[in-house]
């Protein structure tokens, strides 16, 4: 139960969320105040998402991700995927390669979902394939997806 409630009685999460890179208004404010961003902001950190059951997922800092930091801890599959991506990028400590969305996000976040059952993970494959088909397809294919209902 969330102890903080809004005036209308809805739960409110207390705390500071931080910044997504880059907020032009924050960058402009720093510039106007003659603040050096490297001196007033910390390095980016992973975001953690909790439920009443505990840690659910962690969002990595994509700009600092390496193939090894993303895939190094995944048994079996991590080594195979890492080998393929290392051959593209050049090594385990190389930056994680830029892959088409949402494929890059899906691969990069695989190890960060703590308690997501395999069946739930597998259920997203159809959506991922449809998204890649739609984004990579011609205009006629995109129009077919536009007419589909959820």
What is the predicted pLDDT for the residue at 115?
78
- Give the length of the chain: 150
Which of 17-26, 57-66, 88-97, 139-148 bottoms out in mean pLDDT, i.e. has the lowest? 88-97
- Residue 39: pLDDT over 80: yes
Tens digits of residue pLDDT in 70-118: 766 666 555 566 666 656 555 556 676 777 777 777 777 777 777 778 7
Which residue in this structure is represented by tokens 């190094």? 72
What is the predicted pLDDT for the residue at 32?
96
Which residue in this structure is represented by tokens 């190890």? 111
Residues 60 and 141: their CA atoms lie apart, in Å, by 32
What is the predicted pLDDT for the residue at 5?
78
Residues 43 and 28: their CA atoms lie apart, in Å, by 19
Confidence of residue 31 (pLDDT cuts 50, 70, 90): very high
Task: Tell whether the torsion through CA atoms of 15, 20, 22 and 25 is positive or negative.
Answer: negative
- Residue 34: pLDDT over 90: yes
Q: What is the DSSP string of 98-132?
A: P--TTHHHHHHHGGGBSS--HHHHHHTHHHHHHHH
What is the predicted pLDDT for the residue at 116?
78
Residues 70 and 85: their CA atoms lie apart, in Å, by 11
Hey, what long-range contacts does 122-130 have (CB within 8 A, 24 or more apart)? 128/102, 128/103
What is the predicted pLDDT for the residue at 78?
56
Residues 6+ apart with CB under 8 A from 78: 71, 72, 110, 111
Confidence of residue 33 (pLDDT cuts 50, 70, 90): very high
Alpha-carbon distance values, 130 to 28, 105, 127, 146 (Å): 39, 15, 5, 12
Tens digits of residue pLDDT in 61-70: 877 777 777 7
């Amino acid at each position: 139960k969330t102890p903080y409630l809004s005036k209308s009685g809805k739960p409110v999460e207390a705390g500071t969320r931080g910044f997504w890179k880059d907020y032009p208004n924050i960058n402009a404010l720093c510039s106007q105040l003659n603040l050096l961003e490297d001196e007033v902001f910390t390095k980016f950190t992973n975001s953690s998402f909790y439920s009443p059951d505990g840690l659910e997922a962690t969002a990595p800092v994509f700009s600092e991700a390496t193939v090894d930091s993303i895939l190094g801890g995944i048994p079996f599959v991590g080594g195979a995927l890492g080998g393929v991506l290392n051959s593209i990028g050049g090594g385990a400590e190389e930056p994680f390669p830029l892959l088409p969305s949402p494929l890059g996000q899906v691969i990069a976040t695989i190890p960060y979902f703590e308690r997501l059952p395999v069946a739930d993970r597998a259920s997203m494959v159809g959506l991922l394939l449809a998204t890649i088909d739609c984004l990579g397809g011609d205009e006629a294919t995109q129009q077919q997806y536009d007419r589909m209902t959820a």
